[in-house]
């Protein structure tokens, strides 16, 4: 059976990606950090398994990858945000963002690649953000991590292409998940107004692109940073 791992799979976009992959016939490992109950429920729902790990920790990341087995698809969806003025951000907050959003992605990719190279095929999907392309006020550090994800994706795609491994990046716009809870209703309304399609995105909007990129229908697509933003960046 085809195997996939989705980090950050216990809620929001990650959970929607897990469901979409399972629907398409993948055995999915739901990677999570703190939300064990939600991860276990989801794994039971889709016939997969839930494995917890703090991706900032090298040993825990390795244990997660070992439990997931030799992967056909890796989706790096785990991510955290920090909203506020950069002058109010401390060193620990900065390290937390890079530890999860960038370092965790690096560790999972590094550990997944050898089996993919041996198989002569594989797919890595990294979830970034439109802010990695455009930047966002009061989200300088978050934007920096997502810009790093995009650059990493493009470079790794060049590195792994000769081995038959595709690496792509999804850049969601304003998606209606708990990550937007830091915004007031008025601020959310402004985000909707800035979005060409006039609504917030759904987790399923992102998940369907991930499922497509994981499939054979996307066999000639690599090194791309694809926006799912309803026209937010237009």
Residues 6+ apart with CB under 8 A from 40: 50
Cα 137–chain centre separation: 22
Per-residue model confidence as pLDDT tens digits over 64-85:
999 999 999 999 999 999 999 9
Per-residue model confidence as pLDDT tens digits over 132-145:
999 999 999 999 99
In angstroms, the Cα distances linking 230 to 98, 132, 173, 193, 198 are: 27, 16, 7, 11, 8
Q: Residue 124, SS3?
A: strand
8 A C-beta contact, residue 94 and residue 140: no
**pLDDT value at 1 more than 90:** no
Confidence of residue 11 (pLDDT cuts 50, 70, 90): confident
pLDDT of residue 166: 99
pLDDT of residue 116: 98
Partners of 73 in beta bridges: 4, 123
Per-residue model confidence as pLDDT tens digits over 25-77:
999 999 999 999 999 999 999 999 999 999 999 999 999 999 999 999 999 99
End-to-end CA distance of the chain: 41
Q: Which residues are catalytic?
A: 142
Percentage of residues in the chain having pLDDT higher than 70: 100
**pLDDT value at 183 more than 90:** no
Specify burial of residue 173 (Cβ count, 10 A radius: 0-12, 13-18, 19+): buried
Residues 6+ apart with CB under 8 A from 92: none
Q: Are strands 3-7 and 73-76 parallel, antiparallel or unpaired?
A: parallel
Per-residue model confidence as pLDDT tens digits over 186-195:
999 999 999 9
Per-residue model confidence as pLDDT tens digits over 150-178:
999 999 999 999 999 999 999 999 999 98
Q: Residue 67, SS3?
A: helix
8 A C-beta contact, residue 27 and residue 48: yes
Confidence of residue 181 (pLDDT cuts 50, 70, 90): confident
| Mean pLDDT over each residue of the chain, to the nearest integer | 97
């Amino acid at each position: 059976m085809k195997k996939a791992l989705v980090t950050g799979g216990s809620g929001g976009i990650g959970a929607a990606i897990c469901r979409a992959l399972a629907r398409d016939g993948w055995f999915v490992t739901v990677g999570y950090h703190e939300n064990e109950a939600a991860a276990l429920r989801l794994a039971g729902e889709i016939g997969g398994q839930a494995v917890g790990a703090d991706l900032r920790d090298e040993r825990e990341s390795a244990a997660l990858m070992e439990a997931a087995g030799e992967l056909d698809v890796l989706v790096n969806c785990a991510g955290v945000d920090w909203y506020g003025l950069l002058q109010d951000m401390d060193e620990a907050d900065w390290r937390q963002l890079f530890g999860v959003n960038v370092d965790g992605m690096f560790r999972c990719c590094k550990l997944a690649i050898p089996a993919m190279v041996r198989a002569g095929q594989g797919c890595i999907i990294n979830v970034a953000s439109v802010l990695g392309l455009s930047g966002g006020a009061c989200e300088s550090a978050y934007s920096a991590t997502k810009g790093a994800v995009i650059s990493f994706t493009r470079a790794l795609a060049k590195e792994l292409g000769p081995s038959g491994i595709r690496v792509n990046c999804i850049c969601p716009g304003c998606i209606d998940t708990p990550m937007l809870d830091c915004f007031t209703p008025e601020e959310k309304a402004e985000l909707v107004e800035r979005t060409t399609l006039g609504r917030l995105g759904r987790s399923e909007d992102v998940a369907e692109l991930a499922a497509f990129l994981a499939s054979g229908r996307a066999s000639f697509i690599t090194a791309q940073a694809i926006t799912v933003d309803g026209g937010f960046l237009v």
